[in-house]
Chains A and B, each alone.
Chain A
C-alpha cells in the first residue's frame, strides 16, 4: 500500500462517509452508545475483512469465476421466489438467521465479473454478436428481479450493467439505439409490464394528490431535509425521526434524517467527500501509468467506483423528490447486510484493481 497525499485524501473521504453513515444509522435506530459502537465496528469489520480477503486473492482468479458467480447469483435470485421472505408485498430477501441477504443487490457485481471473463477471451473486442449477446444476458437476467417485484433494483441493475458495457467500450451505436427504443417502448412497458403497486409509485410521483402515501413519504422526507436549514438541528435531534413521521428512516430515507441533523453544511460536506472519493479514484485509475493491454482491472475498478457514486446520488435524488421512490440503498448509510456487503466487495475490487493494497 502506498501512502501519498492523493491516496490519503481518498481514504479520508471514504472513512468520513463511513463514519457519518454509522452515526446517522445510530441516531435513527437507537440512542444506546453500545449499539452505535457495535454497528460501527461491524461496518468497519466487514469492510476490512472484505478488503483483506481481496488482498489475498488474485483479481484474475476472481475474473475466472465470473460466469459461475453470475449463474449462482441468478440461481439465488430465483430461489428467493421459493425460500424468500416477503416484505411489503415483495419477495427479495433470503433469511440466514443472523443475516438476511438480498441476492439481487449482488447482480451488478457478478454481471460485471461475467462480462470481463467473457470479453477477456476475445481480447475485449466487441463484435455485433457479442454486443447483442451481452445486452440480451443483461436484460434477461434483470427480469427475475423486476418480477420479485423490485422495479427499482432491476432498473438500476440494468442501467449500471449498461454503464459497465459503456466503460468496456461497446460501440456507441447500441446506446443510442437503446435510448430511442427505451423512450418508444416505455408506454408499452408501463401498460403491460408493471404491477399496480409499481404503477402507483410512478403515479404518485407525477400526481399532486397528497393523500397518496407515496407522496406523503416524499413530503415527509422533504420536510426532514428542509427542517435542517443551514446548520442542522444537531446530532440526535431529528424530530421527524423521533415522532416517526419519516417512514423507512433507517433504510431508503436515512439521508433525510442526516440532512435534518447536520443541515446544508453537513450535506455539502458529504457531497464534497463523495466527489473527492469518486472523482479522484476514477481519475487516478484512468491516468495510471501501468495501463496495459489488459484493461480489465481498470474497467472493474472504475465501474465499482461509479456504482458507489451513482447509487449515492440516485438515493439522494429520490429522498429529495427529484426522481420517483424506488427502493435504492444509500452506500454505507442504509442499514442492511446486503447493501453493506455489496459495497464492501466493491471497495475491495476498487482497491485491488488499483493495487493500493499491493
Chain B
C-alpha cells in the first residue's frame, strides 16, 4: 500500500515532467518561428509602427478669368478629424455626437472611426467648422479624446452660376476618378488626394492645379504624445491657371438667357480661345460642396438638367445655321453657283419617293437664288441642292469641319458632333444613308446634330474663310485645320455679304436683331424638336412649351475684320432670329467694347 502510493506519486511526477518538457519544446518552436523565420517581417512591422509619415498638402492653384477675376481659390478652413494616433473612446464618440446633434450621427461616426483606424487615415468628421462649432468644441470638448481640429484647404468658387460648367467642381475621389487619372497623370497615387476635380477645368488640369504633395516623416509612439520629425520632403504649391473666359461677358450671357435653357459659346478668332461658354440653367459650384446625396439626386433628376453642360455636351439640330457651311460644300463641288434660281413655293417635292417637305414660310420665297436662300433661309432651295450631294464627298467635307472628332482638349465633359456616314447609320438604323436622308441633312435637320461649341466653331470657320484651329480654354493646340474647299475670294465675299444681309437686309431673318453698328454677320435657325407633317400639327405643338422649336443663332463680328464668332441656342425659344440673335448681339457688343 505504501509502495503503491510512492509508485503513483513517481508515475504522476514523471507524467508532469514529460508534459512540461513537451510544452517547453512547443514554446521553443514557437519562438524559433517568430524570431528566426518571421523575424525580419515582424521587425519591418515594428519599424512601420514607429516610423511613419503624413502628407503635406499644397495649396491648390487659383483659377483666374482672362479679365483677372478669381474664379476658384483654396481657402484655409478648420475641420474636425479623427486623430489616428489616439483611438477615440466610445465615451468620446458619444460625447462628440451630443455636442453636434445636427451634424453627427453616432453610427456614422463609429463607422468613420473604425475605417480611420483600419486604413490609418485621419477621416474628417465635420468639414469646415464655423466659428460657433469651433467655440463649442474648444469649450465643451475638453474631455473628448481621439479627435483633433486640423487645418486644411477648401475650394471656394466664384458663386456666379455662369462659371460652374467651365470650372467644374471638386468631390471625393472614387473608382472612376482613379480610372480616369491613372493613365493621365504619371505615378498617380489615389491614396493621397481625398478630393479631386470631378469636371471642367478642375478635372482636366488636376495635375497642374494640385501641385506636388510633400511628406513629413516622423517617429511617434503608440500614445501619440511623442512625435519627432525626422525628415520633410519638398512640396510644391499648385499652379495658378488663367483661363480664356471673359467673366464680364460670361456673366452677361448667363443673365441674358434669363433662366431659359440653352447655351452660348463664343470663340475668339485671334487665337481660337473660348471667352464665353455658358450653359443654362446652372448652379453655383459652392453649392455642390456639402450637398447631401438626396439633394444631389434631386439635381440629377431636375428636368431642366442644371448639371448638364449644354455648351460642350448638348446635341442640337443646327437647322438653317448649317446652310452657310453647306453652301461652301455646294459651291466647291459645283452643285450650284450664285446664279442658279429655283421657284420656292413653300414645298420641296422629293419625286423619287413622292414625299413632300414643308418649308417654314407659308407660300415660300418665290424665285430664289443662293444669296436669297441664305438671307431668307429657303429650305426648298437647299433641299433641292442636297439631293445632288455625293455621299463620300459630303462625309469628307463634314469630317474636315470637325464632325466626329474632339473639338476641345480641355473642355470636360465633352461631346463631339456625330459624323453622319454609312457607319453611323448602320450602327443606329441598320442601313446605309440614302438620298432621302440628305434632304434633311442639307437643312441641318434629321440626323444632323451639333454641339453649341461646334456651331460657334463653324461660325468661326465661315468668318475665317475655311481656316481654323481647335478652340481651347487654357492650352492652345498648335495646328491649323482647313475645311475641304477651294473657293475663290469672290465666292467667299458673296457668302460673307449674304451673311451680312441676313442681319442688315430687311428681308433677312436676323433683321429684327437691330445689330446696328456691331457689324454683325450671321445666320439664324429654328430647330424642330418633333417631326411635323402638317401645319395644323405644328400649331398644336406650339402650345406645349417643351415641344416648341429651339432658337439658334450663329454669327461673327465685326464682319469686315472678324474677331469673335458666336453660337446661341435657346431651347424651345422658337425663333432663332428674334430670340437667340439679340443675345448674341449683346454678348458680342460687351466683348468688343472690352477691347
Q: Which residues of A contact B (CB under 8 A)?
A: 124, 163, 166-167, 169, 211, 213, 219-220, 222-230, 239-240, 242-245, 247, 259, 263-264, 267-268, 271, 274-275, 278-279, 282-283, 285-286, 291, 293, 295, 298-299, 302, 306, 309-310, 313, 316-317, 320, 322
Could you say which residues of chain B place their CB within 8 Å of the CB of A298? 9
Bound together, the chains give a CA A298 to CA B16 distance in angstroms of: 14
Bound together, the chains give a CA A238 to CA B168 distance in angstroms of: 53
**Interface pair A313/B23, CB less than 8 Å apart:** yes
Chain B positions 527 through 553: 1 when the CB is less than 8 Å from some CB of chain A, otherwise 0: 000000000000000000000000000
Interface positions, chain B 395-416, Cβ under 8 Å from A, are: none
Could you say which residues of chain A place their CB within 8 Å of the CB of B50? 239, 243, 245
Could you say which residues of chain A place their CB within 8 Å of the CB of B24? 271, 274-275, 313
**Interface pair A225/B42, CB less than 8 Å apart:** yes
**Interface pair B21/A279, CB less than 8 Å apart:** yes
Bound together, the chains give a CA A230 to CA B50 distance in angstroms of: 21
> Contact partner of B31 among A220, A223, A259, CB < 8 A?
A259
**Interface pair B117/A211, CB less than 8 Å apart:** yes
**Interface pair B17/A299, CB less than 8 Å apart:** no
**Interface pair B27/A264, CB less than 8 Å apart:** no
> Contact partner of A163 among B16, B117, B219, CB < 8 A?
B16
**Interface pair B35/A226, CB less than 8 Å apart:** yes
Beyond the given A223-B49, A282-B13, could you list 5 further A-B residue pairs with CB under 8 A, ordered by the A residue number? A167-B13, A211-B114, A264-B32, A271-B27, A313-B23
Q: Which residues of B contact A (CB under 8 A)?
A: 2, 5-6, 8-10, 12-14, 16-17, 20-21, 23-24, 26-28, 30-32, 34-36, 38-43, 45-46, 49-50, 87, 114, 117-118, 219-223, 226
**Interface pair A313/B42, CB less than 8 Å apart:** no
Determine how close the nearest CB of chain A comes to the CB of B5; give it in whole angstroms.
6
Could you say which residues of chain B place their CB within 8 Å of the CB of A264? 31-32, 35-36
Q: Which residue of B lies closest to A320 (CB)?
A: B30
Question: With A245-B222, A275-B21, A282-B17 as given contacts, are A293 and B2 in contact (CB-CB < 8 Å)?
Answer: yes
Determine how close the nearest CB of chain A comes to the CB of B355; give it in whole angstroms.
73
Bound together, the chains give a CA A322 to CA B34 distance in angstroms of: 11
Interface of A is mostly: helix
Bound together, the chains give a CA A16 to CA B527 distance in angstroms of: 99
Determine how close the nearest CB of chain B comes to the CB of A290; give it in whole angstroms.
11
**Interface pair A302/B30, CB less than 8 Å apart:** no
Could you say which residues of chain B place their CB within 8 Å of the CB of A225? 31, 34-35, 42
Question: With A223-B49, A240-B46, A317-B23 as given contacts, are A169 and B223 in contact (CB-CB < 8 Å)?
Answer: no
Q: What are 13 of the A-B contact pairs (CB < 8 Å)?
A: A219-B45, A223-B49, A226-B43, A226-B45, A227-B39, A243-B50, A268-B31, A275-B20, A279-B21, A295-B5, A295-B6, A313-B20, A316-B31
**Nearest 7 CB-CB pairings of A with B:** A226-B42, A243-B221, A264-B35, A229-B39, A244-B222, A169-B8, A227-B43
Most chain B CB atoms below 10 A, which of A211, A247, A286: A286
Determine how close the nearest CB of chain B comes to the CB of A166; give it in whole angstroms.
6
**Interface pair B34/A239, CB less than 8 Å apart:** no
Could you say which residues of chain A place their CB within 8 Å of the CB of B17? 278-279, 282-283
**Interface pair B42/A223, CB less than 8 Å apart:** yes
Bound together, the chains give a CA A224 to CA B587 distance in angstroms of: 72
Bound together, the chains give a CA A279 to CA B16 distance in angstroms of: 10
Determine how close the nearest CB of chain A comes to the CB of B119; give it in whole angstroms.
11
Could you say which residues of chain B place their CB within 8 Å of the CB of A274? 24
Bound together, the chains give a CA A355 to CA B219 distance in angstroms of: 55
Q: Which residue of A lies closest to B220 (CB)?
A: A243
> Contact partner of B12 among A169, A226, A244, CB < 8 A?
A169
Bound together, the chains give a CA A310 to CA B19 distance in angstroms of: 10
Bound together, the chains give a CA A240 to CA B30 distance in angstroms of: 20
Could you say which residues of chain B place their CB within 8 Å of the CB of A224? 46
**Interface pair A167/B35, CB less than 8 Å apart:** no
Could you say which residues of chain B place their CB within 8 Å of the CB of A286? 9-10, 13-14
Could you say which residues of chain A place their CB within 8 Å of the CB of B40? 229
**Interface pair A240/B5, CB less than 8 Å apart:** no
